[in-house]
Amino acid sequence: MIERHQDRKTALILGARGRLGRVVLDEFVRRGWRVRALVRSATGVPALDDVVAIEGDARSRRDLIAAAEGVDVIVNATNPPFPAWQPAVFEITEAVISAARTSGAVHLFPGNIYNYGWPMPDVISETTPQRPTTRKGAIRVEAERRYREAADLYGVRTIVLRAGDYFGGDGRGSWFDQVIAGKAARGKMTYPGPLNLAHAWAYLPDLAATFEALARQRDEFGTFETFHFAGHTATGADVAAAMETAIGRPLSVGRLPWRVMRLAAPVVRSWRELSELAYLWHVAHRLDGAKLEMAIGEIPHTSFDRAIRESLDALGIDTRPTRPAAAQLAAV
């Protein structure tokens, strides 16, 4: 049942057909928001009473200003392909600032951990210094700097919610579905780093629910706020164990051939882009979510085993059915 609110609000979701955007759209609708979905093509946008698809370009100030008229929040779920990040990220940044300034909407922005560079501390909080060591990290730091500057100069409000690697939802394009679980149906798992190092993960349905909670409580925050979403901190061994439990059989675990990818990077552009991020899998790290919990209370959180199972189900990989509670008790 969709939860309705007496005072209904409107959200504009950019990148509504993307990996994060589609999950955020579902959550906002479920929570009773009216949603405008900005997309290049309306094909594939859910045909729901509470969703209006608007065709446009997130890099266009004119398109975003028109789409954002009268909305309460703008959820920036855009994610251009890595090779196109510059200038696309900055074009989107400037268009969002213009739209938020004109409409008065609060901007919600998904941050990541590229900002911290190599080496990262094992615990990352909102006060951790940002020292990017990659091109993508520098781009993200600059984008956030521009949002902060717009807050200081024009009162444009931005809430950054920083998270680890995505998994879950029905989209494709994350490390989990493209690399780690890509061959799970054949009993294989490929992991990008040592199996004993902790890694920050964000289960998308939980992250989307957190964005919605921040949107509801937006007036309680300053003009520029950053929160960290702790999500799940799991080693490669934890991921393998959860996957084996879900599919009901052992997995053969292999390593990603980073050395081969680096050698081929000069001629294979996608490998060059991925190789830049290899360090993220070779240093233990987690996100400190204490500030977020203080701000909104209990953080949406699905157990790791269940999140992995549901993520595999979404990928079409057969998992063992979870027995009802009564059956589990009877078996004890």
With respect to residue 315, please indicate whether it lies within any of the assigned structural domains: no
Quote the tokens at residue 37: 């979905």
Q: Are 77 and 21 in contact (CB under 8 A)?
A: yes
Nearest Cα residue to 15 out of 72, 95, 69, 70: 95
Residue 133 has pLDDT above 50, yes or no: yes
Instruction: Compute the distance between CA of residue 299 and CA of residue 287 in angstroms, rounded to an integer.
Output: 13
Dihedral sign computed on CA atoms, order 228, 213, 14, 106: negative
Rounded to an integer, what is the distance from CA 292 to the centroid of its chain? Answer: 16
Residue 301 has pLDDT above 90, yes or no: yes
Dihedral sign computed on CA atoms, order 55, 19, 210, 218: negative
pLDDT at 44: 63
- What's the length of the chain? 332
Q: What is the pLDDT of residues 36-70, one digit of tens each?
A: 999 987 776 766 778 999 999 999 999 999 999 99
Residue 326 has pLDDT above 60, yes or no: no
pTM for this entry: 0.92
With respect to residue 77, please indicate whether it lies within any of the assigned structural domains: yes
- The enclosing domain of 61 has a CATH number of 3.40.50.720
pLDDT at 268: 66
DSSP string, 244-294: HHHHTS--EEEE--HHHHHHHTTT-HHHHHHHTTGGGGSS--EE--HHHHH
Nearest Cα residue to 278 out of 202, 175, 162, 173: 175
With respect to residue 268, please indicate whether it lies within any of the assigned structural domains: no
Q: What is the pLDDT of residues 169-187, one digit of tens each?
A: 987 889 999 999 999 999 9
Q: What is the pLDDT of residues 15-37, one digit of tens each?
A: 998 999 999 999 999 999 999 99
Q: What is the pLDDT of residues 184-227, one digit of tens each?
A: 999 999 999 999 999 999 999 999 999 999 999 999 999 999 99
With respect to residue 180, please indicate whether it lies within any of the assigned structural domains: no
Give the total number of structural domains in the chain: 1
Instruction: Compute the distance between CA of residue 173 and CA of residue 204 in angstroms, rounded to an integer.
Output: 13
DSSP string, 55-119: E--TT-HHHHHHHHTT-SEEEE-----GGGHHHHHHHHHHHHHHHHHHH-PEEEEEE-SGGG-SS
Instruction: Compute the distance between CA of residue 217 and CA of residue 108 in angstroms, rounded to an integer.
Output: 12
| Residue ranges making up the domain that contains 156 | 10-171+203-231+284-301
Q: Are 123 and 288 in contact (CB under 8 A)?
A: yes
With respect to residue 292, please indicate whether it lies within any of the assigned structural domains: yes
Nearest Cα residue to 103 out of 55, 50, 156, 51: 156
pLDDT at 265: 66
331 confidence band (pLDDT: 50, 70, 90)? very low
With respect to residue 321, please indicate whether it lies within any of the assigned structural domains: no
172 torsion bin: left (phi>0), alpha (psi -120 to 50), beta (else): beta
pLDDT at 264: 65
Instruction: Compute the distance between CA of residue 130 and CA of residue 326 in angstroms, rounded to an integer.
Output: 50
Q: What is the pLDDT of residues 60-102, one digit of tens each?
A: 999 999 999 999 999 999 989 888 899 999 999 999 999 999 9
Average pLDDT over residues 5-9: 64
With respect to residue 120, please indicate whether it lies within any of the assigned structural domains: yes
Bigger pLDDT: 332 or 199?
199
With respect to residue 252, please indicate whether it lies within any of the assigned structural domains: no
Residue 327 has pLDDT above 60, yes or no: no
